[in-house]
Chains A and B, each alone.
Chain A
Amino acid sequence: DGGITQSPKYLFRKEGQNVTLSCEQNLNHDAMYWYRQDPGQGLRLIYYSQIVNDFQKGDIAEGYSVSREKKESFPLTVTSAQKNPTAFYLCASSIDLDRDYEQYFGPGTRLTVT
């Protein structure tokens, strides 16, 4: 089956630790995205990548970092500099940036930092 996988579904970390969330897709999509969602809020864009070895900051990139070494993978690191890291994180992909309107989303990772 083609799709996007995110793991784990739930993640717990202590404050001050960096944590990396994985996102893998086997759809052969060029573009990938990371969003954050807080309770009762819409999605906010953290980072996006148009192609391998290229990525751009979204609206709330501070305290996060990404890499895109492979087409299939777009991991997100939540650093200790992120002031409010507890949230639901969603990864998405699209055929390319021109077709970002048809994004396919992963199941999400719910991160809790205490």
Chain B
Amino acid sequence: DAKTTQPPSMDCAEGRAANLPCNHSTISGNEYVYWYRQIHSQGPQYIIHGLKNNETNEMASLIITEDRKSSTLILPHATLRDTAVYYCIVSPNSGNTPLVFGKGTRLSVIA
């Protein structure tokens, strides 16, 4: 079972920041937060991950609350190509537990 809760869908205007929330209130101390996205009919694509500090890369920023019970993925300037399903996953970085993908959030970027 997925250990995260995400809204099923969101809209965002093109050029604006897309903020995708994720609740993971039962996260354990050794579990990381991972984000993937899946464009229609393609395989998922890794975006970013973090433990407790905020992270940024060329694709997105990840903001994790201090209590680690929720996080937000930020796409700073959403484009139409960012329309996809975004998956938030929590999992230990131990190598013994494969990732569990929930239903994700379907982000629609609108022109």
Residues of A bordering B, CB below 8 Å: 4, 33, 35, 40-45, 48, 58-59, 88, 90, 92, 96-108, 110
Contacts and interface: CB of A to CB of B under 8 A. Distances in A.
Contacts of A99: 95
Nearest to B1: A59
B93 A101 contact: yes
Interface of B: 2, 32, 34, 41-46, 49, 87, 91, 93-96, 98-104
Contacts of B96: 97
Contacts of A92: 43-44
A40 B101 CA distance: 12
A90 B44 contact: yes
Nearest to A33: B98
Contact of B102 (A42, A96, A98): A42
The interface centre, meaning the residue of B91, B98, B102 with most chain A CB atoms within 10 A of its CB, is: B98
A35 to B, nearest CB: 7
B43 A42 contact: no
